[in-house]
Amino acid sequence: MPFQPVLLWTDALLFLLVGLVVLFAWQARRHEHLRAPWREVARRPLAMACAVVLGAYALIGLADSVHFRPALDQPGPQGERRYAPEVLSLLDLALAPLRRQSEKTYSAPFAVRLYVKETVHLPDGTVQRIRPRLRWGGAHLEDPARRWADVAARGGRGALWGLALWAAAGMVWLAWRARRWGCRWREALVRVAAGRTELPWRAMWLTGAVLLLLAGAVAALAPYYHVLGTDKVGQDVLYQSLKSVRTGLVIGTLTTLVMLPFAVLLGLAAGYFRGWVDDVVQYLYTTLNAIPGVLLIAAAVLMLQVYMANHPEAFPTATERADMRLLFLCLILGITSWTGLCRMLRGETLKLRELDYVQAAQAFGVGHGRILLRHLLPNLMHIVLISVVLDFSALVLAEAVLSYVGVGVDPSMHSWGNMINAARLEMAREPVVWWTLAAAFLFMFALVLAANLFADAVRDAFDPRLRGA
């Protein structure tokens, strides 16, 4: 094979989570009480526009979760195929020019020269302090003064290609919808453009158009310029920002996967059984809340680092080492963040267990497990869903804070927190290197804002008090 597949722990868990989401969607379509709230969410234009943005982030994260080791050109001593020690992903293949085209040091966005001056010996024997030309950025230009005209031309052509792709996909989709609606495609176009559809297709397609315009322009410019500049060691900042998407998604999703069993099981048990079970659960989350979360996370990460240093044979590649630290960070974040949801589920269960249908089930001798699964848990799922979508953005921000203080993901792994941590020294130099911090902030801001706006719609749709139930 020209490559050797590599399955990391976070890859397996991420795809398992995708499978669980697909299974839940399939179950929701079969039950009206699950489908009705999501239908209300889908009818909100702002929520669906945010869903398109979140879908774009998810595609980037999933493409970066398919890992492999490429084969080397030279075979081994016995003629066997050998593979490179470097672990790559599908996103690395798509961003190969950005990954390979490294400069010497800092360069500003769309620059053709280094950001700092160097001492250069000229052919006539004189020595000057100048900013030399970049090796890759703008290297195709014979006259650097024409840089912005070239940027506008290439960016415009890329945006047009993105718009053409959007129009082609829209034509195919309109033909399909016209067939479903039983009308001509022009009538379907008018209906979508006027917003006379059950779902806000107009908002979704306009959001998709903006994303494809930006993606087309960046894709056309990235092989010729460093769109977001380079960092201290000359790596492309746009490449780092896109690679950091997976880290943010893994922290936000896998931590939830770890947190939910603790919160749901212990919250239900404490509220339903009461007595000594309730006392034990309250003691657990009260004690855990009394310990500062940052100190607990720092202690756990330091213990993992000591274990890795003493057992290097368990982590053959740097990627597997960084992935294990990321997985351990998700575990410790999940263990320290389940207490809030558990407290809410306990309080709601205390109220639900006194209702007539639960009392009737107990009177008829229905088992405790069946009451918890069939009568109580379905009536608590709105709290679980609301907490999951609201906690996602908080966990993404938590990764940035933890990496900033040095107890986050591995320094060799791309993340917005590591970018911010590196940018704190760059902001103190003269001239100021601002683009690393700006890029991390921009990508994190778009993800967190979209997640929060989508979470607001989910909360309004699932909360019975806001629905007037």
pLDDT tens readout for residues 47-61: 999 999 999 999 999
How confident is the model over 130-159, as a mean pLDDT? 90
pLDDT in tens, 355-401: 888 888 888 888 888 888 888 887 887 788 778 877 888 888 888 77
- pTM (whole model) above 0.85: yes
Cα distances (Å, whole numbers) of residue 235 to 97, 103, 181, 242 = 11, 7, 50, 13
Amino acid 450: pLDDT: 92
- Percent of the chain residues past pLDDT 90, beyond the cut: 25
Averaged over 435-459, what is the pLDDT? Answer: 90
Mean pLDDT, rounded, for 84-113 = 89
| Residue 469 pLDDT greater than 60, yes or no | no
Residue-wise DSSP of 104-158: SS-B-TT-SB-SS-EEEE-TTS-EEEE-PBPSSTTTT-SSGGGHHHHHHHHHHHH
Q: Left (φ > 0), alpha (ψ -120 to 50) or beta: where does 310 sit? A: alpha
Is 70 domain-assigned?
no
Q: Among residues 384, 289, 377, 376, which one has the least CA distance to residue 339?
A: 289
The b/e string for 48-81 (b: 16+ C-beta within 10 A; e otherwise) is: bbbbbbbebbbebbbbbbbbbbeeeeeeeeeeee
pLDDT value at 46 more than 90: yes
Distance CA 63, CA 61 (A): 5
Share of the chain above pLDDT 70, in %: 97
Q: C-alpha dihedral over 91, 165, 50, 326, to 10 degrees?
A: 0
Half-sphere exposure of residue 362, counting CA atoms within 13 Å on the CB side?
13
Asked whether residue 9 carries a pLDDT value surpassing 80, the answer given is: yes
Judge whether 339 lies within some domain. yes
Place of tokens 């809340």: 289
Tell me the C-alpha distance between 450 and 454, whole Å. 6
| Mean pLDDT estimate for the chain | 86
| Distance, CA of 52 to CA of 199 (rounded, Å) | 13
| Alpha carbons 316 and 320: distance in angstroms, whole number | 7
Q: Does the pLDDT value for residue 428 go beyond 80?
A: no
Give the total number of structural domains in the chain.
Answer: 1
According to DSSP, the β-strands at 88-89 and 3-6 are: unpaired
**Helices vs strands, H then E, count in the chain:** 19, 5
Question: Where does the pLDDT of residue 424 fall: very low under 50, low under 70, confident under 90, or very high at 90 and above?
Answer: confident
3-state secondary structure of 68: strand
What domain range is 294 assigned to? Answer: 237-467
CA distances from 272 to 111, 350, 360, 465 (A): 64, 6, 15, 22
For 216-268, write each residue's pLDDT tens digit: 999 999 999 999 999 888 899 999 999 999 998 998 888 888 888 889 999 99
- 411 lies in some domain: yes
- Please indicate whether residue 100 or residue 83 has the higher confidence score (pLDDT): 100
Q: Decide if 450 is inside a domain.
A: yes
Mean pLDDT along residues 1-8: 82
**Given this model, what pLDDT does residue 203 score?**
93
Higher pLDDT, 431 or 11: 11
User: What's the confidence (pLDDT) of residue 59?
Assistant: 94
Flag whether 434 is in a domain: yes
Residue 360 domain-assigned (yes or no): yes
Position 79 confidence tier, pLDDT thresholds 50, 70, 90 = low
Write the CB contacts of 384 (distance below 8 Å, at least 6 apart in sequence).
Answer: 260, 263, 264, 341, 345
Sheet of strand 67-70: strand arrangement: 3-6, 67-70, 88-89
**pLDDT at 468 exceeding the cut of 70:** no
Residue 91 pLDDT exceeds 90: yes
Residue indicated by tokens 């639900």: 352
In order of 374, 383, 391, 393, the CA distances from 377 in angstroms are 7, 10, 20, 25
**E strands, 182-281, in order:** none
- Rounded CA gap, 190 and 406, in Å? 54
Q: Is the pLDDT of residue 293 over 80?
A: no
Reduced to 3 states, what is the DSSP secondary structure of residue 103?
coil
Instruction: Tell me the pLDDT band of 465, cut-offs 50, 70 and 90.
Output: low
Cα–Cα–Cα angle for 300, 405, 343, rounded to 5 degrees: 55
Is there a domain that residue 318 lies in?
yes
Is the confidence at residue 341, as pLDDT, over 70?
yes
Residue 92 placed within a domain: no
Domain CATH code at residue 250: 1.10.3720.10
Cis peptide before 431 (omega within 30 of 0): yes
Question: How many Å apart are CA 165 and CA 381, to the nearest integer?
Answer: 39
Which residue, among 108, 97, 80, has the nearest Cα to 221 in the 3D structure?
97
Inform me whether the pLDDT recorded for 434 exceeds 80: yes
* Residues forming a β-bridge with 71: 83
